[in-house]
Amino acid sequence: MDLQTMKARLAPLFPGLMGVELEEATPDRVVATMQVRPDLCTAGSTLHGGAFMAFADTLGAVATVMSLPAGARTTTIESKTNFLGGAPVGTTVRGETTPIHKGRTTMVWQTRITGGNGKPCAIVIQTQLVIQG
C-alpha cells in the first residue's frame, strides 16, 4: 500500500478526526505530524495523554499494515507510554515509528514523539498482533 492510499484510508476515521497527517509510510518507518488543538488538550492547554497514545497507536498500526503479508490484518495487543514532556496548544507534534521486532505473529514498534521545539514528549512501545487471513 502506498502513502496516498494509506492517507485516504485514515481520513474518515479517528486518526483523521484527530488531524494525523502522514508524511512517510514504509514497512520500516512511519512519520506523521499532528497539530495540538484545544479539543485534544487537557488542563493547562497541553496535549492530553490519550491523544499522545492514540497518535502513536495510529503510527504503529500503519507501520504494521505496511508490513503485513497479503490477506492478514492487525490489532494492538499491548502499549506502553513514557511521558517526557508536554506539547502546548498551537504547536505541532511529530511522531516517528520504527520496528523493534517484526515476526510472523507479532510486531513491536517504537514511536518517538517530539514537540515543535524538537524535544521529546513521549516514547511509546506497542505490540501488534498479526492475524492471518
Query: What is the per-residue pLDDT across 38-91, written as a single tens digit (0 to 9) for each?
Result: 999 999 999 999 999 999 999 999 999 999 999 999 999 999 999 999 999 999
For residue 35, give the nearest of 82, 95, 78, 77 by alpha carbon: 95
CATH class assigned to 3-131: alpha beta
Give pTM, 2 decimals.
0.96
Matching residue, cell 498500526: 61
Q: 71: phi > 0 → left, psi -120 to 50 → alpha, else beta; which?
A: left
Give residue limits of the domains in the chain: 3-131
Residue 3: the pLDDT is 92
Residue 1: the pLDDT is 86
Q: What gap in Å lies between CA 34 and CA 22, rounded to an integer?
A: 9
